[in-house]
Structure 1
Amino acid sequence: MLRKFSREPLIHFLGGALLIFTFFWATGTGRDPADYEISIDETDIDRLTTDWERNFRRAPTQQELDGLIDQEITEEIYYREALRLGLDKNDPVIRRRLFTKMRFIDSKDEENVAPTDTILQQWMDEHPGKYALSPLYDFKQIYLGQISAAQASDWIDQLNNGGNPAANAKSISLPASLERASIAEIERQFGDRFAGQLAKLELGLWSGPVASGFGVHAVRVTAKTLGKKAALDDVRQRVVNDWRADQQAEQKEKALSRYRGQYEITVAGRP
Structure 2
Amino acid sequence: MNLRILVFFAIGLLIFFLDIGFNSEQSSKDIYISDQELTSLLSAWKSQVGRPPSDEEIVSIINNFVQEEILYREALLLELDQEDRIIKRRLAQKITFLKQETIPDDPSQEELENFFDLNKDNYFVPATYSFSHHYFSKESNAKERAAKAFNGYKTNGTEIIGDPFFLGKNFYQNSANEIKKNFGELFFSTIENLSLNEWSGPHESVFGQHIILLKEVQNGFSPPLEKVLIKVQQDYLSQAQDKAIDEYINEIRSQYRVIINPDYKF
What's the TM-score, normalizing by structure 1?
A: 0.68
Partner of 1:206: 200
Partner of 1:59: 53
Partner of 1:193: 184
Does the residue aligned with 1:87 lie in a helix, a strand or coil?
coil
Answering whether residue 35 of structure 2 is matched by residue 42 of structure 1, we say: yes
Partner of 1:137: 129
1:34-78 CA deviation, whole Å, 9 max, x = no partner? 6454322322333344445454845332x6544543443343233
When the two structures are aligned, how many residues end up with a matched partner? 248
Could you tell me how far 1:209 is from its partner in structure 2? 1.9
8 Å CA contact 2:128–2:218 kept in 1: the answer is yes
* Aligned residue type for 1:193: G
Partner of 1:224: 217
Question: Against the structure 1 CA distance between its residues 113 and 202, is the aligned structure 2 distance closer, same or farther, given a 3 Å change threshold?
Answer: same
Question: Against the structure 1 CA distance between its residues 134 and 155, is the aligned structure 2 distance closer, same or farther, given a 3 Å change threshold?
Answer: farther
Does the residue aligned with 1:29 lie in a helix, a strand or coil?
helix
Question: Against the structure 1 CA distance between its residues 205 and 100, is the aligned structure 2 distance closer, same or farther, given a 3 Å change threshold?
Answer: same
Partner of 1:3: none
Q: 1:96 aligns with which of 58, 70, 89?
A: 89
Give the Cα separation in 2 of the matches to 1:83 and 1:114: 40
Could you tell me how far 1:202 is from its partner in structure 2? 2.7
8 Å CA contact 1:160–1:206 kept in 2: the answer is no
Give the Cα separation in 2 of the matches to 1:223 and 1:72: 61
Give the Cα separation in 1 of the matches to 2:216 and 2:62: 70
Gaps of 5+ in 1: 1-8
Q: 1:121 aligns with which of 101, 113, 117?
A: 113
* Aligned residue type for 2:82: K
* Aligned residue type for 2:200: W
Does the residue aligned with 1:69 lie in a helix, a strand or coil?
helix
Does the residue aligned with 1:76 lie in a helix, a strand or coil?
helix
Does the residue aligned with 1:224 lie in a helix, a strand or coil?
strand
Give the Cα separation in 2 of the matches to 1:102 and 1:76: 20
Does the residue aligned with 1:206 lie in a helix, a strand or coil?
strand
CA RMSD between the two structures:
4.2
Give the Cα separation in 2 of the matches to 1:60 and 1:82: 31
Question: Against the structure 1 CA distance between its residues 156 and 82, is the aligned structure 2 distance closer, same or farther, given a 3 Å change threshold?
Answer: same
* Aligned residue type for 1:133: V
Q: Which moved more, 1:38-47 or 1:64-73?
A: 64-73
Give the Cα separation in 2 of the matches to 1:97 and 1:86: 17
Could you tell me how far 1:255 is from its partner in structure 2? 1.9
8 Å CA contact 1:159–1:206 kept in 2: the answer is no
* Aligned residue type for 1:85: L
Does the residue aligned with 2:97 lie in a helix, a strand or coil?
helix
Q: Which moved more, 1:100-109 or 1:50-59?
A: 50-59
Q: Percent identity?
A: 20
Does the residue aligned with 2:106 lie in a helix, a strand or coil?
coil
Question: Against the structure 1 CA distance between its residues 262 and 165, is the aligned structure 2 distance closer, same or farther, given a 3 Å change threshold?
Answer: farther
